[in-house]
Amino acid sequence: MSPPVLSVRDLSVIAKTDQGPQTLVDRVSFELNRGEILGLVGESGSGKSMTCRAIIGLLPSSRISISGGSVILRGKSDLTHLEESDMRKVRGGDIGMIFQNPSSHLDPVMSIGGQITESIRYHHQVNRAEARNRAIEILHQVGISDPAQRIDDYPHEFSGGMRQRAMIAVALACNPEILIADEPTTALDVTVQAQILRLLMDLREKRELSIILITHDLGVVAQVCDTVAVMYGGRICERGPKREIILDAHHPYTTGLIDCQPSGGSHRGLVKTIAGQPPSQGSMPTGCAFHPRCAHATKECAQTEPAAVDYQPNHMLACHHPIGEINEGGRA
Ligand SMILES: Nc1ncnc2c1ncn2[C@@H]1O[C@H](COP(=O)(O)OP(=O)(O)O)[C@@H](O)[C@H]1O
Ligand code: SF4
Ligand SMILES: [Mg+2]
């Protein structure tokens, strides 16, 4: 069997603060296979974006750094040890990234086509005409109609949905194997959101693209993901195949998130929001970070951090008192 396209092992990120180092991402592990869509979910501040920024070596400030773990690309290079010049080749070349707000990531004074061809020519030895033809083809693939006419347009001449398509085109310009999409549909209306998700699924189908999709919306996860990792307080608290996470979650935080969805399982109770606030930086609870909000918490939860256990080969859980029956046959 071929190795995972991306293997993240115990990745940790810390911030230097006046109060000392604070952990933003805590021993995060997951694998991403070819053509797989992994959903990274959790409330705002849980560490989803920081995890992905660490993977591609784009941490937001010099006070924030990777403090441990590895990010193995195709079973070979550990990205956490690459020089910035090599990392620049990985970004775009192997891993593309798109964000919630295309306007702040597209260059407003460069044409859409110029931004795509710039990336193609940075990574590949092709002449201007070839790069332009490739750019037209990519714009066509991401669903821009009449791409030969629109290629010289500037971002402000595109609608919000088209700008998001254009950002995907820039990210895909060099045919990366992995796309990291950080809340790519959050700012879009429902119809355009559905179109962009459809596009991501098409790209997975046609290019065997592997996608990490960050979202706080479990409806999006249910629609497009194969695997789901749920983050809380910088840690992954449960990870498994989508079906198991949506229909048979065992972590109280996961079940809480599911119950908060408009179409959530009402059999779990009438709770529509998880009471309390997520932990903020610098005030991480002891033991299980979720214990102040957890209806199942015991003294043990407040004192001892639950270990992350693969109780089935591909279902990981970090909880002292999981909900529901657990088949521990595959417990590691
Ligand atoms: N630029 C930054 N400097 C310091 N801390 C940050 C910065 N950006 C985010 N954080 C902190 O890192 C943690 C994780 O944030 P983030 O990954 O952005 O969460 P999410 O994407 O899940 O909403 C939060 O505690 C947040 O306050
Ligand atoms: S470890 Fe305890 S507090 Fe944490 S989620 Fe499980 S039951 Fe709740
Ligand atoms: Mg984020």
Predicted pLDDT of residue 43: 92
Domains of the chain: 33-58+183-332 (3.40.50.300), 95-175 (no CATH)
From the CA of 50, the nearest ligand is 1
Ligand 2 centroid to Cα of residue 237, in Å, is 10
The beta strand positions in the chain, using DSSP E, are 6-17, 20-32, 37-41, 64-73, 77-78, 95-98, 178-182, 210-215, 227-232, 235-241, 309-312, 315-317
Predicted pLDDT of residue 269: 46
Predicted pLDDT of residue 267: 46
Distance of CA 280 to the CA centre of its chain: 20
From the CA of 280, the nearest ligand is 1
Question: Strands of 95-98's sheet, edge to edge?
Answer: 95-98, 178-182, 210-215, 37-41, 227-232, 235-241, 315-317, 309-312
pLDDT in tens, the chain (332 residues): 788 999 999 999 999 999 899 999 999 999 999 999 999 999 999 999 999 999 999 999 999 999 999 999 999 889 999 999 999 999 989 999 998 888 888 999 999 999 999 989 988 889 999 999 999 999 999 999 999 999 999 999 999 999 999 999 999 998 999 999 999 988 888 888 999 999 999 999 999 999 999 998 888 999 999 999 999 999 999 999 999 999 999 999 999 999 888 754 444 444 467 888 899 877 899 999 999 999 999 999 999 999 999 988 889 999 999 998 776 654 44
24 lines ligand 1 (CB under 6 A): yes
Residues 290/313, Cβ–Cβ less than 8 Å: no
Ligand 2 centroid to Cα of residue 267, in Å, is 20
CA pseudo-torsion sign 83, 4, 37, 257:
negative
From the CA of 46, the nearest ligand is 1
288 lines ligand 2 (CB under 6 A): yes
Q: From the alpha carbon of 288, which atom of ligand 2 is closest?
A: 4
Of the residues 25, 49, 97, which should be mutated to test ligand 1's pocket, given the most ligand atoms within 8 Å of the CB? 49
Question: Strands of 77-78's sheet, edge to edge?
Answer: 20-32, 6-17, 64-73, 77-78
Cα–Cα distances (Å) from 251 to 119, 238, 257, 320, in that order, read 42, 6, 10, 9
Predicted pLDDT of residue 12: 98
Residues 214/49, Cβ–Cβ less than 8 Å: yes
291 lines ligand 2 (CB under 6 A): yes
Distance CA 303, CA 142 (A): 50
Ligand 3 centroid to Cα of residue 48, in Å, is 6
44 lines ligand 1 (CB under 6 A): yes
Q: From the alpha carbon of 13, which atom of ligand 1 is closest?
A: 12
Considering only CA atoms, which residue is closest to atom 14 of ligand 1?
47
From the CA of 42, the nearest ligand is 1
15 lines ligand 1 (CB under 6 A): yes
Distance CA 160, CA 157 (A): 10
Beta bridge pairs of residue 235: 232
Ligand 3 centroid to Cα of residue 59, in Å, is 12
Of the residues 294, 305, 311, 326, which should be mutated to test ligand 2's pocket, given the most ligand atoms within 8 Å of the CB? 294
Q: Which amino acid, one-letter code, is at 292?
A: P
Q: Which residues surround ligand 3, an ion (CB under 5 A)?
A: 49
289 lines ligand 1 (CB under 6 A): no
